Chain A
């Protein structure tokens, strides 16, 4: 190791502060004029330092900007690699959106990808995007395109039936069950379960329990039997009975349908207005008599009409509550969505 390199090392370690120190020492020695050797040493050190600094600056190389040769060929390749709108990049972005549950935008990316490439997985995911956002008719159409000649045919068939099931038009769903060439082989039991569920969920006739319960596990048969019984023998209120009761005794029809408060109010309103009408006629107050007669007719007619409506609403409520319970039962057991790996 040479002396300049040692000095340079010291300078670097001490952040060049000694240079200032030596310069001050030099000024002092000149001032005193009595220490020529020390002064020479200082001059020497300064010279060496400045030389090493100069050498350092000479060795410095700025970052070189490399100019590309044959730019016409190479540049286009570079640009193509960074094109985010190329189909593979669109697919990657679509998958990213799909994993983030942004199905609407993922579908748009998959659509662009499928314009250039045909890929069964992407087609299934494209259809699944519509399925997940509740656009079931579009989902069903896209699942249908995978029915034949695709390794995802079974999954597509199941999802096709699920899409139609969630459209809430169970009549069409049951018509599609008749098309045996559409039915999946692997997921046949799931589709049969959906078919059985449709009978519970809509207001159509209920078939025999043997076929209806067959696709389900034995553990849920008792619950299904309970739903079956309640659906078949729903405790309904008869409209005619309600109307007849209200005709005989005002408010009785409403009490029959469970609206006890409304029934008693109807009775009181009709009886009081009728009493006032009679009382006014008896006292020769004809105008007031007719006024209260009109009011009595108003309350009486409203009571009969209200009883009929009340019975109808009671039946609708019973049906609605049972449907909600059945729907919740099926949804909680997740019968509709068996695990599919894709």
Chain B
């Protein structure tokens, strides 16, 4: 009887290895790092509308799709910055050019400088048709 009692006590108070070493459940999900900031630019009426559209694009498409743009700044950010740097027409043309360059599958051969995040650095001030603003 005593032997059975000790055996039962031993079993009931025994700790498994995971309890003894306080094992944690490991999550293999990648942390989300690319979520955008949903800010509204109130510098002008046009910028307010544009930044609102950009936020809608971020919410419904970009944040769901992931951080896929190979450029820095991303195409959407490039468009907003281009419009801010020039005007809506010039910014639109700059965006059209950027979008075409983004379609190029061999863009790595264009010798874009590499940004610290590993993306191609392609700032809008190089595309304003003002040679004084170009920085290489």
A residues in contact (CB < 8 Å) with B: 259, 261-262, 264-266, 269, 298-299, 301-303, 305-306, 308-309, 312-313, 315-317, 320
B103 contacts A by Cβ under 8 Å:
yes
Q: Which of B19-27, B55-63, B64-72, B125-133 contacts A (4 or more CB under 8 A)?
A: B125-133
What's the minimum C-beta distance from B82 to chain A, rounded to whole angstroms? 11
A-B pairs with beta carbons under 8 Å apart, 18 shown: A262-B110, A264-B104, A266-B100, A269-B103, A298-B96, A302-B95, A302-B99, A303-B97, A306-B96, A306-B101, A308-B129, A309-B97, A309-B127, A312-B131, A313-B136, A315-B131, A316-B136, A320-B136
What's the minimum C-beta distance from A303 to chain B, rounded to whole angstroms? 6
Asked whether B134 lies within 8 Å of A302 as measured between CB atoms, the reply is no
CA distance A249 to B97 in the complex (A): 16
B residues in contact (CB < 8 Å) with A: 93-101, 103-107, 109-110, 126-127, 129, 131, 134, 136
User: How many A-B Cβ pairs are below 8 Å?
Assistant: 63
Which residues of A lie under 8 Å from residue B97 when comparing CB positions? 302-303, 305-306, 309
Which residues of B lie under 8 Å from residue A313 when comparing CB positions? 126, 134, 136
What's the minimum C-beta distance from B91 to chain A, rounded to whole angstroms? 11
Asked whether A302 lies within 8 Å of B136 as measured between CB atoms, the reply is no
Which residues of A lie under 8 Å from residue B101 when comparing CB positions? 262, 265, 306
Q: In this complex, what residue of B is CB-closest to A310?
A: B97
Which residues of B lie under 8 Å from residue A315 when comparing CB positions? 131
Of the residues B93, B100, B109, B129, contact of A312 by C-beta under 8 Å: B129
Which residues of B lie under 8 Å from residue A262 when comparing CB positions? 100-101, 104, 107, 110
Of the residues B93, B98, B136, contact of A317 by C-beta under 8 Å: B136
Q: Are A305 and B103 CB-contacts (below 8 A) given A261-B110, A313-B126, A317-B136?
A: no
Asked whether A265 lies within 8 Å of B103 as measured between CB atoms, the reply is yes
Which residues of A lie under 8 Å from residue B129 when comparing CB positions? 308-309, 312
Which residues of A lie under 8 Å from residue B95 when comparing CB positions? 302
CA distance A342 to B110 in the complex (A): 51
Most buried by A among B96, B100, B105, B134: B100
Which residues of B lie under 8 Å from residue A320 when comparing CB positions? 136
Of the residues A269, A316, A317, contact of B100 by C-beta under 8 Å: A269
